[in-house]
């Protein structure tokens, strides 16, 4: 466990997803000066449960799970500090410390999710469902990510990126962030995205080819999951390799903005 500078935000940061900040509050300028003096330059990001990002009379409540952000680029934005960062390992807050002058906490790292090649069909189905839901929902609401956004070739990184681009509520995103296995992450992602699609879109009266493909995918994923359980019962679990930590492609490595004081509730990688 270690003491960590913390940046509570109005959005969830996932591993392997970009984060863009416009920093102008004095306490966070102090925080960034301290963070940038260290190597690597890291700080923690958690979702605000209630209250505002900007300092004020209202007490701020925060969720206890978050992600470490590593600074990748600095710049200026109308006199403010522009920070680009990337989500890395997940953390759990053990204890919140007194502001000095920025928020800080004692945190512990959460285990990396290990990849099992037997989960490949489920990851493929999750991608199919997420992309289709984005494509349909974008006809009704504005979304920060395009359905054809590029993902990492690494299966663990891309699984987290799918969680990051899926059109879900913040509470759903926190639930995904707390997943303890890759199988749990993918199953939750599929279930939550299907539910979100029903809310975001009107009923479709005609089943198109991709609808049929999704239905087949879900049946195949269920069959694969059953075979996996049977195999585990006979042989025990396999799989190795924690998720990587490098940037990839030009999709979830976008360059949008999130204000540190006045959140516009856009996920990372969107423009304001």
- Residue 56, pLDDT > 60, answer no
Tell me the percentage of the chain whose pLDDT exceeds 90.
64
Alpha-carbon separation of residue 18 from 14, 118, 202 (angstroms): 8, 28, 31
Q: What would be the CATH architecture of the domain defined by 2-112+254-259? A: Roll (2.30)
How many Cβ atoms sit within 10 Å of the Cβ of residue 241? 13
Joined together, the tokens standing for residue 259 give: 């204000």
Alpha-carbon separation of residue 254 from 139, 223, 248 (angstroms): 22, 36, 10
- Residue 109, pLDDT > 60, answer yes
Helix residue ranges per DSSP H, 65-181: 120-137, 155-165, 170-177
**Minimal CA–CA distance to 119: which of 190, 176, 212, 196?**
190
Given pLDDT bands bounded at 50, 70 and 90, which one contains residue 265?
very low
Phi/psi of residue 218, nearest 5 degrees:
-65, -40
Separation of alpha carbons 239 and 2, rounded Å: 29
pTM: 0.77
Given pLDDT bands bounded at 50, 70 and 90, which one contains residue 78?
confident
- Residue 131, pLDDT > 80, answer yes
In contact, 237 and 247? CB cutoff 8 Å: no
- pLDDT, average across residues 126-139: 94
Mean pLDDT of the chain, nearest integer: 82
How many Cβ atoms sit within 10 Å of the Cβ of residue 75? 12
Given pLDDT bands bounded at 50, 70 and 90, which one contains residue 13?
very high
In contact, 258 and 9? CB cutoff 8 Å: yes
Domain locations in the chain as residue ranges:
2-112+254-259, 117-235
In contact, 179 and 189? CB cutoff 8 Å: no
């Amino acid at each position: 466990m270690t003491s960590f500078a913390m940046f509570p935000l109005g959005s969830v940061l996932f591993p392997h997803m970009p984060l863009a900040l416009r920093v102008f509050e004095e306490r966070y300028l102090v925080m960034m000066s301290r963070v940038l003096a260290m190597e690597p330059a890291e700080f923690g990001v958690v979702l605000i449960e209630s209250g505002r990002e900007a300092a004020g009379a209202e007490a701020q409540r925060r969720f206890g799970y978050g992600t470490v952000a590593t600074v990748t680029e600095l710049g200026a934005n109308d006199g403010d500090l522009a920070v680009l960062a990337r989500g890395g390992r997940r953390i759990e807050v053990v204890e919140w410390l007194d502001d000095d002058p920025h928020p800080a906490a004692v945190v512990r790292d959460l285990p990396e999710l290990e990849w099992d090649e037997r989960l490949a069909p489920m990851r493929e189905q999750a991608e199919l469902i997420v992309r289709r839901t984005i494509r349909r929902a974008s006809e009704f609401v504005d979304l920060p990510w395009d359905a054809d956004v590029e993902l990492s070739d690494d299966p663990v990184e891309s699984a987290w990126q799918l969680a990051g681009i899926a059109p879900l509520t913040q509470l759903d995103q926190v639930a995904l962030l707390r997943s303890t296995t890759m199988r749990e992450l993918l199953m939750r992602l599929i279930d939550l995205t299907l539910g979100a699609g029903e809310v975001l879109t009107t009923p479709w009266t005609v089943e198109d080819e991709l609808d049929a493909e999704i239905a087949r995918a879900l049946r195949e994923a269920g069959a694969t999951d059953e075979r996996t359980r049977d195999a585990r019962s006979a042989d025990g679990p396999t799989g190795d390799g924690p998720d990587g930590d490098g940037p990839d492609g030009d999709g979830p490595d976008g360059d949008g903005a999130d204000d540190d004081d006045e959140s516009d509730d856009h996920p990372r990688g969107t423009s304001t």
